[in-house]
Amino acid sequence: MKIVIVGPGSIGLLVTFYLAHQHHMVSLVTNRQEQTTVINEKGIHLIRHKQIAKMNVPVTTFSNFNWDETIDLLIVTVKSYQVTNVLKKVDFTNVKSILFLQNGMGHTEIFSKLAIPELAVGVIEHGALRENDFTVHHTGVGKLRWSYVREGSGIINEVLKGIIDPNFPVEKEQDWTNMLESKLIVNACINPITALFQVENGELVKNEHYLSMMNLVFKEVISVVGFVDDSDTWEYVCQVCRKTAHNRSSMLVDIVNNRKTEIDSIVGYLIRRARDQQIDIPILTFLYEGVRAKELKQGRDAYD
Ligand code: PAF
């Protein structure tokens, strides 16, 4: 199969590494020429338990990529706020299927406009930290969970069920909305608080004050998403905090590195849904404004 991965950030590098091991023709597309140079020269490096494994994968920029050849599977791993712009650069004529791997649900709002016969979404529960343009640390083995939004000829299933690697388990889910909503709840509860208060995930369950803040957030999220078994869902959120206790959430990492965050696709999306249902969510709105304020301040400082 010919597989093209768009966006070699931490998730893109991780997925590329494990897929390239399955003997597919995997290639990467990036926006940045300097990243193509370094990956073509050194390959992709994956660090797990202090061991480095290397894999050679061809990489090109969007402008140099040959979109005339058939692409069996296009995997989009860029951040949710980059999805719309990135898709404008893709020629879909020869693309047979597409898989989206993002946090949040903002990107799902464009699915109805995509005329691709086979489309799926996935969530990455692995710990992955990018060290530089070609190196990713696989800091925690989790799962890649995925589900069809539209099932075409079954290409995505064929590719993903072929990944048999204890370090990269893959699980197929039946209901994509349910799957993304569970991850959305986790991200909405953990990411903004950790980003604003600059604490690791574990702190949210260790410190009773963070725990009660997170519970207030959780209740608002549930009022929008409407999960029935909230006690199990709350336990799941706490379990993720415990399992990733020493991780900094992706939103905290973005804030610390002066990068734009995924707040719009996570909390912004919930605010839009709450507005449609006429539900008041003051705490989530507060967190949204707080993270946006940090992004804006960093942006302003960067230009000062
Ligand atoms: O965005 C993240 O950092 C992760 O999805 C999660 C689950 C919150 C763990 O850090």
Kindly provide the ipTM of the predicted complex, given to two decimals.
Answer: 0.97
Contact status, residue 129 vs residue 12, Cβ threshold 8 Å? no
- Let me know whether 163 and 194 are in one domain: no
**How far does residue 250's CA lie from ligand 1's centre (Å)?**
6
- Let me know whether 60 and 133 are in one domain: yes
Please tell me the residue having the least CA distance from ligand 1 atom 10: 249
**pTM for this predicted structure:** 0.91
Q: Which pLDDT does position 19 carry in this prediction?
A: 94
Please tell me the residue having the least CA distance from ligand 1 atom 3: 249
Residue to probe by mutation, ligand 1, list 244, 254, 255, most atoms within 8 Å of CB: 244
- Let me know whether 124 and 152 are in one domain: yes
- Let me know whether 74 and 192 are in one domain: no
Contact status, residue 218 vs residue 234, Cβ threshold 8 Å? yes
- Let me know whether 77 and 133 are in one domain: yes
pLDDT digits (tens, 9 = 90+) for 28-85: 999 999 999 999 999 999 999 999 999 999 999 999 999 999 999 999 999 999 999 9
**301 assigned to some structural domain:** no
**How far does residue 201's CA lie from ligand 1's centre (Å)?**
8
- Let me know whether 163 and 212 are in one domain: no
**188 assigned to some structural domain:** yes
- Let me know whether 51 and 124 are in one domain: yes
The runs of H, that is alpha helices, within 116-229 are 155-161, 176-197, 203-206, 208-225
Residue 65: domain span: 2-174
- Let me know whether 161 and 74 are in one domain: yes
Last residue of some domain: 159, 174, 189?
174
- Let me know whether 203 and 216 are in one domain: yes
Please tell me the residue having the least CA distance from ligand 1 atom 4: 249
Last residue of some domain: 130, 157, 174?
174
Q: Which pLDDT does position 142 carry in this prediction?
A: 86
* pLDDT, one tens digit for every residue, the chain (304 residues): 999 999 989 999 999 999 998 889 999 999 999 999 999 999 999 999 999 999 999 999 999 999 999 999 999 999 999 999 999 999 999 999 999 999 999 999 999 999 999 999 999 988 888 999 999 999 888 899 999 999 999 999 999 999 999 999 999 999 999 999 999 999 999 999 999 999 999 999 999 999 999 999 999 999 999 977 778 999 999 999 998 898 899 999 999 999 999 999 999 999 999 999 999 999 999 999 999 999 988 775 543 3
Number of independent structural domains in the chain = 2
Based on the number of CB atoms within 10 Å of its own CB, is 152 exposed (0-12), middle (13-18) or buried (19 or more)? Answer: middle
Residues at CB less than 6 angstroms from ligand 1: 103, 186-187, 190-191, 201, 240, 244, 247, 249-250
Last residue of some domain: 156, 174, 192?
174
Please tell me the residue having the least CA distance from ligand 1 atom 9: 249
Residue 130: CATH number of its domain: 3.40.50.720
Q: Which pLDDT does position 300 carry in this prediction?
A: 53
Ligand 1 atom with least separation from CA of 190: 8
